[in-house]
Structure 1
Amino acid sequence: MDRFLVQSAMRFMQPKESEEIMNPWFGKAAFIVSLISMMLIRAPHGKRSGQVKIRESRKGPLEIAFLALMGIATLVLPVISIVSSLLSFADYGLHVLPFLLGIVCAAMGLWLFYRSHADLGTNWSISLDIRQEHQLVTGGVYERIRHPMYLSMFLLALAQVFLLSNWIAGPLYLLAFLLMFPLRLGPEERMMLETFGDEYDAYVKRTKRLIPYVW
């Protein structure tokens, strides 16, 4: 009897592997909240900036392809993985630590996503555009880094990796971002330099691209 009680207590104190795995719907629900929050943040800013005419656009085939890829990576495949079993062969267990990391990345990413839009105002565009009366924004979250919205997207891409326990839908946004960012960064900064000249050049010299004081 005593031996049975000791063995029972030891089994209770040692967590089983299955107990370390969460219900995947916790991650899916957190991702859905994050996705809807992104849409709610962007919608009013997109509506306001859309009322300002575009003075110059550099949206070519590559830009359109990037936007389509990002849409597939952030919306289409994640939703398919959540509402259907088409990608279930790539599912894996959701553990507590990745889930918590996903929540933190999503919260930080959404805050920075909101602040970036709020500080840009009507100067924001989803593609490489210069609007009429376009202003160079150097305050708020743009004071120390030139691309805080890209940083927010990177954080949200990490959140998707952690929250969606699927080898396809989870990392796809991060892979798309890592492909898009270096190819878009150069043309975007050249466009800003051609538009704002010395003002943008001075801004570049006192700021970093993505990480304050680092890069």
Structure 2
Amino acid sequence: MNPAYVKEIVLLANIIFFILRGVIKWRVVGVPVAKRRIGAVEIVLMMVVTAGQVVPLIWLATQNFAFADYSAHPSALIVGAMLYVWGLWLLHRTNGDLGRQWSPSLELKDDHRLVTEGIYRRIRHPMYLSLLIFAGGQMLALPNYVAGPAALVAMLVLIAFRLRAEERMMIEAFGDEYKAYRKRTNRLIPGLW
């Protein structure tokens, strides 16, 4: 398979991803924050996530990770591209449902409300799921043992450390309403977890 073709798919998916993330961030600029939790763990998590996003871009632009390249298999690229599309669609859908409630860190807005409609009717953390799906697509589409799984590893670390803290913050903010919501939904995967 033509390596330039693979790089074009990875680049296009990442451009769309960063545009969507920019739109998400733009929508919340100026929204007053009532409560923010940014400690050492949160800072390290943001550094890990940034590295997970930057390493594939370094692979695209340089030969720094060429030692870990392998031949791209067409079926892996096809499945990876499908996961890219699914992850991007879910990110877009989640953003639409979440609206101005989104934040890049653990924080609550002044007028924060618990979102339980749309995709949130079934799962509590669809944005994390969208990031996992996108990162899984990248792992399959990007034929490099370092850059391919970089985003997936970063997302798994983020979820492992942030999910419980985020749920605790939501319980503090919404109490029984969030506990009831938690009982009728799954964290990431409908019907499983």
Measured against aligned partners, the alpha-carbon deviations of 1:141-174 in whole angstroms (never above 9, x if no partner) come to 1110000001101001111111111111011111
Asked if residue 203 in structure 1 is aligned to residue 168 in structure 2, the reply is no
Aligned residues: 193
Measured against aligned partners, the alpha-carbon deviations of 1:67-98 in whole angstroms (never above 9, x if no partner) come to 11111111x21121111111111110001110
Partner in structure 1 of residue 63 of structure 2 = 85
Identity of aligned residues (%): 42
Write the distance in 2 (CA, Å) between the matches of 1:72 and 1:78.
Answer: 9
Partner in structure 1 of residue 50 of structure 2 = 71
Write the distance in 2 (CA, Å) between the matches of 1:77 and 1:137.
Answer: 33
Measured against aligned partners, the alpha-carbon deviations of 1:14-45 in whole angstroms (never above 9, x if no partner) come to xxxxxxxx112222211111111112112222
Residue of structure 2 aligned with 1:131, choices 109, 120, 130: 109
Write the distance in 1 (CA, Å) between the matches of 2:24 and 2:60.
Answer: 28
Partner in structure 2 of residue 30 of structure 1 = 9
Contact 1:42 1:117 in 2 (8 A): no
Partner in structure 2 of residue 164 of structure 1 = 142
In structure 1, stretches of 5+ residues that fail to align are 1-21
Residue of structure 2 aligned with 1:155, choices 133, 144, 147: 133
Write the distance in 2 (CA, Å) between the matches of 1:175 and 1:39.
Answer: 19
The structure number with the bigger radius of gyration is 1
Partner in structure 1 of residue 83 of structure 2 = 105
Supply the AA of the counterpart residue of 1:33: L
Residue of structure 2 aligned with 1:140, choices 105, 108, 118: 118
Contact 2:11 2:60 in 1 (8 A): no
RMSD of equivalent CA atoms: 1.0
Partner in structure 1 of residue 172 of structure 2 = 194
In structure 2, stretches of 5+ residues that fail to align are none
- Deviation of 1:114 (Å): 0.5
